[in-house]
Every structure is written in structure tokens, then in C-alpha cells.
A and B are shown apart, each in its own frame.
Chain A
Amino acid sequence: MSNPSASRYFIPQPSHWPMVGSLALLLMASGAVLTMNSIANGGYVLLAGVAVLFYMLFGWFGRVIDESEGGKYNLQVDQSFRWSMGWFIFSEVMFFAAFFGSLFYIRVLSVPELASSAQQIYSTFAGYVGTWPTAGPVAEAAKTEFHAMHATGIPLLNTILLLSSGATLTWAHWGMLAGNRKQLVFGLFLTIALGLTFIGFQAYEYSDAYAHGLKLTTGVYGSTFFMLTGFHGFHVTLGATMLIVIWLRSMKGHFTAERHFAFEAVAWYWHFVDVVWLGLFVVVYWL
């Protein structure tokens, strides 16, 4: 081991940030309950919770960054960050596996089963054949019109945007390893710009879908479409936020070619979000 302090167990100073985080969660949960029950000022309590949460995120992460840049972390701490990233990634993979799984279940089992039983048992829905995309037998009996999404156009454009962002990020990654700060900073900037453009187009696509009658409430097609692409969009927003932090840190001169696990973790997360989109693009728009 090159680091002489690697064998020592790092114990951080006592911290008030977990307590602040708990307060944020308490305020957010109470605010949400008050808002849902239409009790006055519930929204303010919820907003206060979000504000405290952001205060905690800035304060706690800032402290960790300061400790890291101050050279207080040895390889043992580095390893603990890797484990926490590993579990976070595991939970994310399971999260999306559940949504992809539900779409698979609906398309391969539920809808064909409903269509076949509609002919035999439910005479009200006798005409239901279950061709995907479907809003379900009730909506189809009511002659609900909706506009199915096409792969070409904005979805294809968004795929190219996100894929390009994966390429620029990889370029930045190689820059990091080569110690080329300019390449790193510019590559990150391009990645963030492409990611934010993706979110903009996604918002436009949603408004267009709503204008053409495809809503979250448009039966099983509408709900799976918006749940899958919506949660993905939320993850792109989170990934872009993390990339912005890494970009700002890179401009401040943080990270070296030897020590940059935070960059690697965020980069991998962005690639993951990109691959999930590719899966969605194929499964939701092409199949």
C-alpha cells in the first residue's frame, strides 16, 4: 500500500447534519400530510422541509468535499464510498427492473389474458382484442381516442442527444485520466448541456402528448408510458445535478488523475441513465 495511513480507521468529527436531515424529513412528511388533508399552511411546512433538506445537502456534502480535499481520507474511506455507491446502484437497478418488469407483464400476460376472457366472459367488452398500445377495455368501449407515441421525431432526437452526452462524458473521463483539465471541464460542460436539452425536449414531448389526448390516466398505455419515461426524466435531472457539482469541482481544481472516485461514480451513473433510456427507447417506442 502506497498510503501509509491506509491501515488507520478514519473516524469523522461528531456531526449535526444527520439531525438536520431528520428535521427535513419530519417537516416534509408533516407538510405532505397537512397538504393532502387541505389543512392551512401545509404547503409552507412542506416547502420549509425541502429548504432544510437542500441546506443539509449543501452543508453535509460540502463538509465531506472539504475533508476529502484536505487530505483526511485514506484508502479505507475511499472503499466505504465505493460500497455506498454499489448499494445505491443496486437499488436503482432494482427500481427500473420493477418498471420494465411491469410493462413486460402487462404486455405479455395481462392484456392478452383480458382480451381472450373478454370474448368468453365479459360480453360488455366482447369487441376488445387487446392490440398494443391499448388504453384497456373500459376506455376502448367508451371510444377514448389517444395518440400513440412514435419512435422517430423527438424520441429519436432525444436518444441521439443522450448518446452524444455519453460520448462527451467518456471524452472528459479520458481527459481526467490523462490529467488534461481543459478536456475534462469542457467535456463535462458539453455533457450537462446535452442532458439539459434532453430534459427540455422531454417536457415538450409531454405537453404534446397531453395535447393529443395521451395522459397519465389514459389506461394502461398512458400510465406505463408516463411512469417509465417520467421516472427516467427525474433520474436525468438528478444525474445532471450531480454532473454540475462535479463540473464546478473540476473547475475549482478538485480531483487528480489518481484520486477521482466522485467523478467516476457520477460518470457511471450518467452512463446508467443513458442505457436505461436506450432500453426505454427500444421497449416503449419500437416494440
Chain B
Amino acid sequence: MRVIVIVLLLAIVFNMGRALVFIFRDQGRERERGVRALTLRVGLSVAVVLLLVIGNQLGWINGKL
């Protein structure tokens, strides 16, 4: 459980980094890459919170991760 959360958090940080690079580089009309990476990071964050809430409800976590 702890490993899954860590992997998801790392994936979120990785996508934030990608978004930063895209926002830094892309100009004009061709700038969808940044918002796509940010959308992905929102999805991954939802997954982390869902995992914590469901894991807590089902007793996978026992109060502490």
C-alpha cells in the first residue's frame, strides 16, 4: 500500500515537471502538452486520495499508512 502511494506521488511530481518544461517551451497555438500533463496529474492525485480513503475504510491501512 505504502509503495503504491509513493509510486503515484512520484508520478505526480514527474508530470508536474513535464508540465513545467512544456509551459516553459511552448508558445503560440501549439501548447496543449502542458495542460495535458496537468490534467494527468489531477487524475493521479484523485487516485491517491481514493486509495487512502478506500484503504482506510477497508482496513488496509489501520490508521497509519
Contact = CB atoms under 8 A, between A and B. Distances in A.
Same complex for A and B? Answer yes
Interface of A: 2, 75, 78, 82, 85-86, 89, 151-152, 156, 159-160, 163, 166-167, 170, 173-174, 177, 257-258, 261, 264-265, 267-268, 271-272, 274-275, 278-279, 281-282, 286-287
A56 B19 CA distance: 31
Instruction: From A163, A166, A264, A267, name the one whose CB has the most chain B CB atoms within 10 angstroms.
Output: A264
B45 A278 contact: yes
B52 A151 contact: yes
A23 B52 CA distance: 49
A268 B42 CA distance: 12
B45 A177 contact: no
A166 B38 CA distance: 9
Interface residues of B, dominant DSSP: helix
A268 B21 CA distance: 11
Interface string B51-62: 011001000010
B38 A163 contact: no
Contact of B20 (A174, A257, A268, A278): A268
Contacts of B41: 166, 271, 275
B14 to A, nearest CB: 11
Nearest to A78: B27
A272 B16 contact: yes
Given A275-B12, A286-B64, A166 B42 contact: yes
A75 B26 CA distance: 11
A257 B32 CA distance: 11
Contacts of B38: 170, 173, 267-268, 271
Contacts of A282: 5, 9, 48, 52, 65
